[in-house]
Structure 1
Amino acid sequence: MSWATNHDASLEKLQQVQGSLMVGLIMVPRTDFLTCGPSETAAKVKKANKLNFSYIPVVDQKKRVVGLYNAERWFGDDAPNHPVESDYLPLSEDIVIGADASIFDFIRSADEVSTKLVVSGDGVAGLVSLSDVQQLPVRAALFALVTSLEMAMAMVIESRWPNAEEWMELLTENRRGKLKDQIKIAKQRDGFVSEIAFTQFGDKSTLLHKGGLVEGTRTAHEARFNAIQDLRNDLAHANRYADTPEAAVTVCRVVRDIYEIKDQLLRAGPVIEKFKTAT
């Protein structure tokens, strides 16, 4: 099932925007690296690391990047005189990502692997870390992701209940009244598009749960969608959303949840069509 072909081409455009925002836009370029050599001691690296970089690229005598050194562990402690080569992370697929990879390719696992070397062409072009989740291209990518989720939610609801009165009955009397008032005013001003366009994020979340369109208990559902809504509001109002390591980790978890929910909504599509045919 393709959202673009079966529902609304604008959703595909949003997904194209997400895909165009790449890791290379947020990486620290190689020219700005603080590096260390395998024979340097942890104490020497700590003294040189005045800006408190969490991970520092390790380079050999030919200035080739051979791995990453975890300097963060010594931020609050005295660093030993052990050489870096005794415990750095050697270059591997686990700590590299392509410069043309989507920002979300990094974010979805950044709470597990917080720093990666960015490769382009035949070498290392830069470095990206969890703290880069604060950058402007990430804000744009996140806003597009949350918007695409809300659009997908609306499309599934309209497919499940083609008659808007049916899904409105699942909302509280207060919410139904406010929606109908807004719809009435919009029609009078010739600004009406569809009933679903007047629902809030919370309305759509409620309808997805009541319609059995996403998995999970009510408590788990509310926790996930409340976290998504909090991120949505922070993005919309230009608030800080990842200004601490803990907040950035939460963003990573929310992004994974959004992808999982969108997958569930895609799978719900054929079920909805079967339901409509049977009834």
Structure 2
Amino acid sequence: MNWATNHDASLDALKLVQGSLKVELMMVPREDFVTCTPDETAAQVKARNLHQFSYFPVVNGDKRVIGLYHAERWFTEDAPETRISHDFAPLSEDIVIGADASIFDFVMQADTHPTNLVVSGNQIAGLVSLSDLQKLPVRASLFALITSLEMAMALAIERNWKAPADWMNLLSDGRKQKLKDAIDDAKKRDSFVSEIAFAQLSDKAGVICKSNLLNEGRNKLGKTFRDIERLRNKVAHADQYAATPETAKSVCRAVRSIYSMKANLLKVIEAKES
């Protein structure tokens, strides 16, 4: 038996998968909000911010959310007696996101808009922030995204080199031998799919970099691949990948790089198939 390959590397397929992983799965629900009021001062909010929440939803006398207050500014400084009413971000498109939006609709911009109020129907249903990137739904989304990138990489390599030996020759002698050993073993066990199915992410990245398949600078492309591989390893092995604001923001950058790289790979694939 020869197992058939099935490279579904399209962006449409990825969107279908990610469409089921929505922002509402990672948000803090409204009933768990820790809020502040317009009449409080920055100093008062800091005094009771024992858990060091970066942002507070601001609520009026009717308990309706009217905006966000940025409390993180005063973590290491004395907070002023300024009233929150004079120092908060009122509701706007910049700080809201739909509950049914994809998780990546938030992740793609979370390094510049680190906290969003989540809208469901005509009310605020929750809050999502940069610190939520460690949650399981985000991990699942990242794994799907990186897997889809690997599929696109594999398909682009297969389309560009008809003979597997041609792209395998771009690998180091050690990696090429390990790949051949894995292929030979799979053939003996009747589980062979294709040569590219046995290439590691680093193998595929090396082939793409050395061949200039994406027509980008090798050093820059190599660094991007290394960043993606580090993220993939942490996601796959249940390590912390967004434990600090800096590492969380690096995830946002990596996600944008993956989307851009995948779009460019799909252009290569389409060109080879036309």
TM class by smaller structure? over 0.9
SS of corresponding position for 1:100:
coil
Output the amino acid matched with 1:79. A
Q: CA deviation at 1:164?
A: 0.9
8 Å CA contact retained: 2:9, 2:151 = no
* Residue segments in structure 1 that go unaligned for 5+ positions in a row: 1-6, 275-279
- Alignment size in residue pairs: 269
8 Å CA contact retained: 2:8, 2:151 = no
Which residue of structure 2 lines up, in the alignment, with residue 161 of structure 1? 161
Q: CA deviation at 1:78?
A: 1.6
* Mapped partners of 1:174, 1:10: distance in 2: 29
Identical-pair percentage: 56
* Mapped partners of 1:68, 1:211: distance in 2: 49
8 Å CA contact retained: 2:153, 2:265 = yes
Which residue of structure 2 lines up, in the alignment, with residue 224 of structure 1? 224
Which residue of structure 1 lines up, in the alignment, with residue 7 of structure 2? 8
Comparing 195-204 and 42-51, the one that deviates more: 42-51
**Matched ranges for 1:195-206 at <5 A:** 195-206=195-206
Output the amino acid matched with 1:234. K
SS of corresponding position for 1:167:
helix
For residues 217-271 of structure 1, what are the alpha-carbon distances to aligned partners after superposition, in whole Å with 9 as ceiling and x for unaligned?
Answer: 1110111000000011111111111111111111111111101101111111232
Task: Name the Cα RMSD after superposition.
Answer: 1.7
Instruction: Confirm whether residue 211 of structure 1 aligns to residue 201 of structure 2.
Output: no
8 Å CA contact retained: 1:95, 1:115 = yes
* Mapped partners of 1:201, 1:8: distance in 2: 15
Which residue of structure 2 lines up, in the alignment, with residue 240 of structure 1? 240
8 Å CA contact retained: 1:29, 1:127 = yes
Per the normalisation by structure 2, the TM-score is 0.93
Which residue of structure 2 lines up, in the alignment, with residue 111 of structure 1? 111
8 Å CA contact retained: 1:15, 1:148 = no
SS of corresponding position for 1:207:
helix
Which residue of structure 2 lines up, in the alignment, with residue 170 of structure 1? 170
Which residue of structure 2 lines up, in the alignment, with residue 249 of structure 1? 249
* Mapped partners of 1:62, 1:38: distance in 2: 12
Q: CA deviation at 1:183?
A: 1.0
* Mapped partners of 1:240, 1:40: distance in 2: 36
Which residue of structure 1 lines up, in the alignment, with residue 188 of structure 2? 188
8 Å CA contact retained: 2:108, 2:256 = yes
Which residue of structure 2 lines up, in the alignment, with residue 48 of structure 1? 48
Instruction: Confirm whether residue 268 of structure 1 aligns to residue 268 of structure 2.
Output: yes
* Mapped partners of 1:270, 1:184: distance in 2: 31
Which residue of structure 1 lines up, in the alignment, with residue 141 of structure 2? 141
Q: CA deviation at 1:167?
A: 1.1
Work out which structure has the larger RCO, using CA pairs closer than 8 Å and 6 or more positions apart in sequence: 2
* Mapped partners of 2:28, 2:215: distance in 1: 39
Q: CA deviation at 1:175?
A: 1.9
Per the normalisation by structure 1, the TM-score is 0.92
For residues 156-212 of structure 1, what are the alpha-carbon distances to aligned partners after superposition, in whole Å with 9 as ceiling and x for unaligned?
Answer: 111111221121122222222221121111111111110001111111011222333
* Residue segments in structure 2 that go unaligned for 5+ positions in a row: 1-5
8 Å CA contact retained: 1:55, 1:72 = yes
8 Å CA contact retained: 1:15, 1:144 = no
